[in-house]
Structure 1
């Protein structure tokens, strides 16, 4: 409103703002006073704005929003308002809404990424420039509702495993209820608990079968001695978890590659990693290209692979806790 190209709108808005600041500081305000008011300053005469009994206005709400967002405003009466974020970047009036939303997301995402425990999966997801692991959030496309309820708590490590429960109740036995491992953590349940190996293998096969179905040329061998690609679903345990797991697959087949190369064969070995909680490894892009997956289908395939991993992990967790099989073989 203060930067509106309509002179009438701009004049009325400026007059209203000046009047509100005047009532707050009990004197005729300067341009600097008005800028400080909108910025949320509580210094000097502006401290009166916090007194009870003040009438809420559009401008007092804008002032409160500035304090929450930690932004500063200059040029309020000049017709060209400049907003500066806490990071120091300046924003013009034409993109103010989009830029402030982006700045707020950056602040909150930085706080989440900095958390040593609950930020682990977020740091892993942050490496995915295609946002495949969270593509279902706005619409819910392709994901079961039970998986939706599971994945948010799982990514924040808020599922009631015995190790997590011990945080709030030190007397709780943190041992695994199935195999007796000393710590029943979520990574243990989803990736390492031996009684869960059948559903863990099923999750692996969900990802593997989708890749197999998408290949359009060459011969494909599954669970045989000829290996083209090795799929893995490591736990999304910080930024380099998927990269490390994929590299381990390449190392695993180093001797086989060398033996086949000695026979004159052209050999390529890839590790294909999709996180247990739906993270996407950027190195998978090279595999999709090598397998001839069309560029048109790749965006959907990436998202479905991440959702398959979430589906498999949810079934593993529910079977672990309840003892009941979640699917039919």
Structure 2
């Protein structure tokens, strides 16, 4: 037997430490030089692209790793930043970078279901005929029944059938099986004989929206993986409730590069605090007590919301959010009363309590009692609890105002988290103040930015004290 070097290709694989490499050294066969494939090239053999990917390496995985490395450098992310942070949607607090492997799976699955349900009879007949051929050859049956075909596509163990390797039947339908399993999808056949896809309890019957449906499910899976983390899930859950909480990820002019980098580290729980440094360092922390107050555990909620030596700066963050709300009051407002951080005289006279809500607005028909709160995002329940606590605190004050003014009294809590989470109930507050819908959106964005910058100032003040103590 004699080889023809012109028809041959060489792909030499090796490892340098733990890193895979492709050897480009010259190779000769039967006196002729054989072309050596590099990492990015391939050779089409019997209709199949042969190259680095077919040898067990995924080019998509390699490119995705390069993209994540560049993004880490741009956002100053440490290497231990979790992968769902890069691929979760922007509305969830992630960077929204598509995962190339998931993108390839989505397009392949979308192509398969559109072919078997094509409106062109010839395309549909060829696709279903090829699918039946693959099922017959794989399961060694004479007829590909509908139930057996669905089990094949769903990557179910073909019990009772002598399944074998695909052999010469390898193609789109054999590649769809692992894709279906990776995406968590499920094939089924309708009464009309159409193949449909479902994920969980959701099903997409519109083929024109199938790709969008699959992309949405992939984003939800990334978000779920992120929220399942015990040290990041709670802080991720709150910002995903409203889009303005994550606007700084879409616009570079909202925060400075330093503020944006710090906010991402804070949300990912990657700041150098005593309570978490033991996870990333070999040496054990001798003490986890706050180095500034010396009374409580040094955690991010304590530093941003409860550390007494920096309480003045924490209060300034609250006042910054309140100022954004005050600036949104229309100049043409018909309010006859606008009390800012004043004792409610009606309540002091009737109940002998000197409560000071942040803002009281009154017109001819009603009175608005508004109080600002900046809780830490320890899950959605903690944000809701902070709102309900404010309502309970000023319930008697609202009752006193009703008796004194004979007007409708409404209590609102303007809740913006320390890490920029905007509570959905806040949307009704600017509208109740007479602010337009467009201006109310601007209020939400400015309030979130004020919370971002205020928390960053709190952190800088706390770190400056810590550095002074060490010196």
TM class by smaller structure? 0.7 to 0.9
Q: TM-score, normalised by structure 1?
A: 0.79
From the superposition, tell whether residues 194 and 65 of structure 1 become closer, same or farther in structure 2 (CA, over 3 Å).
same
Q: Deviations over 1:181-200 (max 9, x none)?
A: 33111100111112322432
- Say which structure, 1 or 2, has more relative contact order (CA 8 Å, 6+ apart): 1
Where 1:297 maps in the other structure, the secondary structure is helix
Q: Does 1:164 align with 2:276?
A: yes
Corresponding residue for 2:215? 101
Q: Does 1:286 align with 2:428?
A: yes
Task: Quote the offset at 1:166 in angstroms.
Answer: 3.5
Q: Is the 8 A contact 2:329 2:433 kept in 1?
A: yes
Aligned positions of 1:70-149 closer than 5 A = 70-75=184-189, 80-85=194-199, 87-92=200-205, 94=207, 95-125=209-239, 128=241, 130-138=242-250, 142-149=254-261
Q: Does 1:245 align with 2:386?
A: yes
Of 267-276 and 28-37, deviating more is 28-37
Q: Is the 8 A contact 2:292 2:309 kept in 1?
A: yes
Corresponding residue for 2:155? 40
Gaps of 5+ in 2: 1-114, 345-358, 361-369, 467-471
Pick from 263, 274, 287: which aligns with 2:416? 274
Q: TM-score, normalised by structure 2?
A: 0.58
From the superposition, tell whether residues 30 and 287 of structure 1 become closer, same or farther in structure 2 (CA, over 3 Å).
same
Larger Rg: 2
Task: Quote the offset at 1:233 in angstroms.
Answer: 0.6
From the superposition, tell whether residues 162 and 56 of structure 1 become closer, same or farther in structure 2 (CA, over 3 Å).
farther
Q: Is the 8 A contact 1:39 1:63 kept in 2?
A: yes
How far, CA to CA, are the matches of 1:18 and 1:254 in structure 2?
A: 69
Q: Is the 8 A contact 2:137 2:169 kept in 1?
A: no
Task: Quote the offset at 1:141 in angstroms.
Answer: 6.5
Number of residue equivalences: 318
Corresponding residue for 1:151? 263
How far, CA to CA, are the matches of 1:282 and 1:90 in structure 2?
A: 28
From the superposition, tell whether residues 55 and 302 of structure 1 become closer, same or farther in structure 2 (CA, over 3 Å).
farther
How far, CA to CA, are the matches of 1:151 and 1:261 in structure 2?
A: 42
From the superposition, tell whether residues 22 and 174 of structure 1 become closer, same or farther in structure 2 (CA, over 3 Å).
same
